[in-house]
Amino acid sequence: MMSMIERTIYANTQKIKDPTLRGLAESAARLVLENWAYLLFVIVLWRFPYIVADLTDTEVQPRRPTGDSVFWQSEMARALALTCLAMSYNLLFGFSGVISFGHALFFGAGGYVTFIVLNEYDASYQQGALIVVIGITLILALFSRMNVRQLLIIALIGVLLTLLLMPGEGTLSFYQAIGLAVVASIAVSLISGVVTLRLRGIYFAMFTLALAEMFWVLAKSGTFRDITGAEDGLGFRDILPESFNPTPTFDGSRLDMYRLTVVFFVIVFIAIRRYLNSPVGRVMIAIRENEERARTIGYNTFYYKVLTMTFAGVIATLSGLLFVIWATDKRVHPEALSLKYTVDPLLNSLIGGIGTLTGPVIATLGLSLGETYLRNETFTLDTGLFGILTVWQLAVVLVVGLVWWLFRRPLQTGLRRVVDMVRRDTARAATFASGTHGHWALILGYYGLVVLLLLAVGLVIGSEIAHNLEFKGDVYNVSDLWELFLGILFVVVVMALPHGIVGTWNTFWANRRVRRLEQSAQQSAPKGNNSAS
């Protein structure tokens, strides 16, 4: 259907006489046709407060008591900030093959650096910064192979940034503080990249983990309470400019802030997509595929990794700041530097599909909004899911499933023998098992059988346990068990679904296309029996 619409639209653009106009119309049409799903998604995001307001019959603007629309606005905004974090992690891990376990450092830095520079800034720092810029330029002039032009550009950018971000008198503005936070994250990326990226991947993973954990400990400790606020964190409520403050008291700015968040998300998405489709991004993907080969065709892979790391770090820093702005208590806590904000984006990238653009978006939005939706749900151990499976039955299903999975080899062999026997007998009588469809039917039947068996065993044994153990009184909260659920999901995805949701979907269609190409190639070439993995 899509292709028919396409043809009609392109046919219509051909009717335009003026060549410049025609070109414009064509590229506009292409933009819309190739990205209609994304555009639709952005429109839904943009209208999201109104959609919720219509559905729940509440106000878009905050009135006391705050309605559902207002509540979901901030939930969506927080989820979008986390999505940007996950996308930046995926850029590193999925597209470049760089395993960083210290991404939380950048996420936390967004809040901490902004606040700390705002508080601690002194006008005399400008001179110090200028000296540092000159010093760095001198060091580069002495120890690197850069030419004069490159050095001049670096010095110029340094001086300009200093003058722009660090006023010689008075105090910092909020925007300048954000700028400084970005500069800080670039500096950290460059330094840690230069120190460790030359080493084997595993050293890099360990180094980043150690670095982030160290800053977490520093942020938590009481020694620097004056600067970091220790366990309490730092409060943003008083320092946020009105236009950045989505608290219920500021009527107009809240919706604007929501829109700004959506714009930020869209920019990050486009920037990452653009980056991946640029010459640099192509090299990055090549490095992930085969780093040695990338070097032997003439790429200094080190530069590309540092560049990507810096890019990902900046995105993470900004999303960290955004997350603080939308936090209910407007505070940045040491938790923002903790492992949680490395594990979360990692998990979301994995579930959505590492090395895919949309995977982290789908997974993060789904999981964080899902958590919000289920947060106040409670359940007891014997009501369970869908009114059919009690938690006990589910547990038994899981355990039996695990056992089956651990010992699937011998079980499969046994089952296959049975299936082969059946197939031999039926093959003559009917075409059931001989054609390609028979193959699918067999697989479906096999897995269906296994699932049914599991369910049956689970139901029977689970009900027995539930009857014998009187656990009926205990009421559990979904949010208490959410982290555990995520952890188990993590393990299951790593083990069973390495490409994630989007990745598996893409692989499926790619395989089909490849098979078709292979078939056409087979007609010209004698034989091509390797299939895509």
Partner 1 sequence: MTDKPVILEGHALRKEFGGLVAVADVHIQVRAGSLHSIIGPNGAGKTTLFNLLTGTLKPTSGQVIFKGQDITGEPLHRRVHLGLGRSFQITNIFPSLTVLENVRLAAQALGGDNFKFWAHFKRFKQYTETAVYAITQVGLESQMHVPAVILPHGDQRKLELAILLASDAELLLLDEPTAGMATEQVPMLLEIIQRVRQTGDKTIMLVEHNMNVVMNISDRITVMHLGEVLAEGTPAEITQNETVQKAYLGELYGDFAEIIQEGA
Partner 2 sequence: MLTYFANLSPQHRRSWGLVVAYVALLLAVSYVDFGYNTAGQTAFRGILLGMLVFMVASGLSLIFGLLDVLNFAQGAFLLIGAYVGYDVYTSLDAGTTVRFLAAIVSGVVFVGVLGAIMETGLIRPLYDRPVFQIVLTFGLAAVLLDLVERYYGPDPKQPLDPPGFLDNNFTLFDQSLSYYRLFIIFLGLTMMVGVFLLLNRTRIGIIIRAGVQDSEMVQALGINVRLIFTLVFVLGAALAALGGIALVPYQGATLEMGNQFLILAIVVIVIGGMGSYEGTAIASIVVGLTRAVAEQLSLEHFDAPVLAETSILLLMIVVLLVQPSGLFGREE
Residues that bind partner 1 (CB under 8 A): 274-275, 277-283, 285-286, 289-290, 292-301, 303, 307, 311, 510, 514, 517-518, 521, 524-525, 527-533
| Residue 127 vs 278, nearer CB to partner 1 | 278
322 in Cβ contact with 93 (< 8 Å): no
In whole angstroms, how close is the CB of 520 to partner 1 at the nearest point?
Answer: 9
- The 10 Å Cβ neighbour count of residue 86 is 30
Minimum distance of partner 2 from residue 7's CB (angstroms): 43
| Distance from C-alpha of 474 to C-alpha of 276, rounded to nearest angstrom | 50
Of residues 240-299, those binding partner 2 (CB under 8 A): none
CA distance 392 to 385: 11
Question: Cβ 311 to partner 1, closest distance in Å?
Answer: 8
Q: Considering only residues 39, 199, 460, 532, which one is a binding residue for partner 2 as defined by CB under 8 A?
A: 199
Nearest approach in angstroms of CB 510 to partner 1 is: 8
For the segment 335-374, give every residue that binds partner 2 (CB under 8 A): 339-340, 343, 346-347, 350
Q: Please give the Cα distance from 387 to 384 (Å, whole number).
A: 6
The C-alpha atoms of residue 133 and residue 480 are separated, in whole angstroms, by: 49
Q: Which is nearer to partner 1, 217 or 532 (CB)?
A: 532
| Pairing of β 234-235 and β 331-332 | antiparallel
Q: Which does 387 bind (CB under 5 to 8 A by kind): partner 1, partner 2, none?
A: none
Q: Give the list of residues 6+ apart from residue 307 with CB closer than 8 angstroms, or none.
A: 280
Residue 297 interaction partner, one of partner 1, partner 2, none, beta carbon < 5-8 Å per kind? partner 1
Does residue 211 touch partner 2 according to CB under 8 A?
yes
- Binding-site member from 218, 227, 422, 442 for partner 2 (CB under 8 A): 218
- Strand runs labelled E in 269-377: 331-332
Of residues 53 through 72, those in contact with partner 2 by CB under 8 A are none
The length of the chain in residues reads 533
Binding-site member from 2, 4, 142, 202 for partner 2 (CB under 8 A):
202
Instruction: Tell the smallest beta-carbon distance from residue 307 to partner 1 (Å).
Output: 7
- Among 214, 449, 475, 532, which residue sits at the site for partner 2 (rule: CB under 8 A)? 214
Closer to partner 2 at the Cβ: 41 or 404?
A: 404
Burial of 238 from C-beta contacts in 10 A (0-12 / 13-18 / 19+): exposed
Nearer to partner 2, 196 or 245 (CB): 196
- 94 near 205, Cβ under 8 Å? no
Give the count of residues interacting with partner 2 (CB under 8 A): 40
DSSP codes, 382-424: TT-BTTTB-HHHHHHHHHHHHHHHHTHHHHHHHHHHHHHHHHH
- Nearest CA to 46 among 254, 262, 362? 262
For 132, residues 6+ apart whose C-beta sits below 8 A from its C-beta are none
Stretch that binds partner 2, among 218-226, 236-244, 326-334, 386-394 (CB under 8 A): 218-226
Residue 90 interacting with partner 2 (CB under 8 A): no
Q: Which of 1, 11, 484, 525 binds partner 2 (CB under 8 A)?
A: 484
Token pair, residue 307, equals 């560049």
**Pairwise CA distance, residues 182 & 79, whole Å:** 21
Point out which residues bind partner 2 (CB under 8 A): 97, 99, 101, 195-196, 198-199, 202-203, 205-207, 209-211, 213-214, 217-218, 221, 223-224, 339-340, 343, 346-347, 350, 402, 406, 480, 483-484, 487-488, 490-491, 494-495, 498
